Amino acid sequence: MAARAEPVTRSLAGLAALVVLGLTLGTLGAVVWRAGGLGLAEGRVGEAIAFTLWQAAASAVLSVALAVPVARALARRRFVGRGAVITLMGAPFILPSIVAVLGLVAVFGRSGAVNWLLGGLGLPEVSLYGPQGVILAHVFFNLPLATRLLLQGWLAIPAERFRLAASFGMGPGAILRWLEWPMLRAVVPGALMLIFALCLTSFAVALTLGGGPKATTVELAIYTAFKFDFDLGAASVLALVQFALASCAAALAWGVARPSGFGAGLGGVVRRWDGGGWLRVQDALAVGLAALFLAGPLLAVCLRGAAGLFDLPLSVWAALGRSLAVALGSTALCLALALPLALAARRGLWVQVLAVLPIAASPLVMGTGLFLLSYRWVRPDEIALWVTAAVNAVLALPFALAVMLPAAREMRQGSGRLAESLGMRGVARLRLVVLPAMRRAMGFSAGLAAALSMGDLGVITLFADAQSRTLPYELYSLMGSYRMEQAAGAALLLLVSSLALFWLFDRGGRADAGA
């Protein structure tokens, strides 16, 4: 029988659950209460909902449709640099949104490489700003995620199935019909709904590339209601709408996928005999174009930012220090919430339900709710960084739990049983059993939380002044004042800092752990 959670662990998990509930549902309730009820503002809700749903659906469909040939090529080809390409697929997830936007502007903007090429060919230029820019940015972020999800589906098809197909002389069409299509039917719906849910809560992308009545997401409308109108009634309605939309999308993403019915194989590397001739060219084009699309903006940021690093104002370096402090504090709080929740969850169902709340809740509403609860005692700018760290910790919690829950289950089935039989409790169990078994998962989770917090441009935009700006907000301000060379330098600084934090925490978790 699996080891049960200790009473102390259950108490800490209950406290963590209360913190998450307070920062999500509690802050939403504070905003509604302070507004004195719910209110609407000139059709803002309908327009925002329409664009939010449309751009999220378009982004999800395009991301998954483009990921299918890329994942298929990576699944059936072995080539030099394949590991680097797969690693590149994970980079946009921890890439600060504002850095990615700057890179996309450098490639697809008015003076970018794409418009330069189109002008040379005598073709009309393209505009990055508006709905098309929002969708392009979302595809940039989510194409790698969709590719990794689909690639895992392809690699999960037992190798014996492909060997049997080869013995029957099945060609690419037959393999697609009998092996790959059932897998896609099981994996694609979940990937679509997950990306749809992520795009629903977009803020930084819509703030920088969208705007205007035709490109305003619900989250951006919440920001407008708070920042410019201070219409708490309208903001409350928008927050409830977003919570309902994101909750439905997250629930569907959780339950829509179905097993493919292949069963388990004996393991081993999957060898493919299909895909010769023109299919080899097709796979090379799919991987090459995807790598170019993802690497182009990153390379542009590095090249343009290298020169701008030497001309950065002192405010950028001060903002870097504040961002590092926020990221470290957010990481510590995220681990303090995630670890007891992962250890106390026997089957993980209630924890997974709890993890949906940060995805569905608006970070802007969380921040505003905290300020409304504390404004009688402190000024908003005095606690802007503390509130940002707390909100970022909760936003990173779903990703940390996704990593730590499987590790906790494995520990309970292994060393946890031995510790239970020996009556090991308290600090001794934590030091000798829990931390060694969970070290890798905690390191990776800490790296994700630190990188995501380092690059977040959300709550800080509402209440920060010149003395409490983080590096992403400082970068956004430089872009808004058209100081693009300095913005590029700040973007490179932010990119290096985010990747360094992720690497340090992840490496620290793997040190002396067999990797």
Per residue in 414-464, pLDDT (tens digit) is 555 555 655 555 555 666 666 777 788 888 889 989 999 998 888 888 887
Residue 323 and residue 389: Cα distance in Å, rounded?
9
- Sequence ranges of the domains in the chain: 1-32+312-515
Q: Please determine, for residue 228, whether its predicted confidence score (pLDDT) is greater than 90.
A: no
Phi-psi group of 230: left, alpha or beta (phi > 0 → left; psi -120 to 50 → alpha; rest → beta): left
Contacts of residue 13, Cβ cutoff 8 Å, sequence gap at least 6: 5, 340, 341, 343, 344, 345
Residue 353 and residue 340: Cα distance in Å, rounded?
16
- The confidence band for 382, taking pLDDT boundaries of 50, 70 and 90, is confident
Classify each residue of 334-363 as buried b or exposed e, where b means 16 or more C-beta atoms within 10 Å of its C-beta: bbebbbbbbbbbeebeebbebbbbbbbbbb
More confident site: 36 or 116: 116
> Architecture of 1-32+312-515 per CATH?
Orthogonal Bundle (1.10)
- The confidence band for 318, taking pLDDT boundaries of 50, 70 and 90, is very high
- Residue recorded with tokens 């709340």: 357
So what's the pLDDT on residue 64?
94
Residue 36 and residue 170: Cα distance in Å, rounded?
67
Please give the model's pTM, rounded to 2 decimal places: 0.82
Across the chain, what does the average pLDDT equal? 80
Classify each residue of 212-234 as buried b or exposed e, where b means 16 or more C-beta atoms within 10 Å of its C-beta: eeebbbbbbbbbbbbeeeebbbb
So what's the pLDDT on residue 466?
75
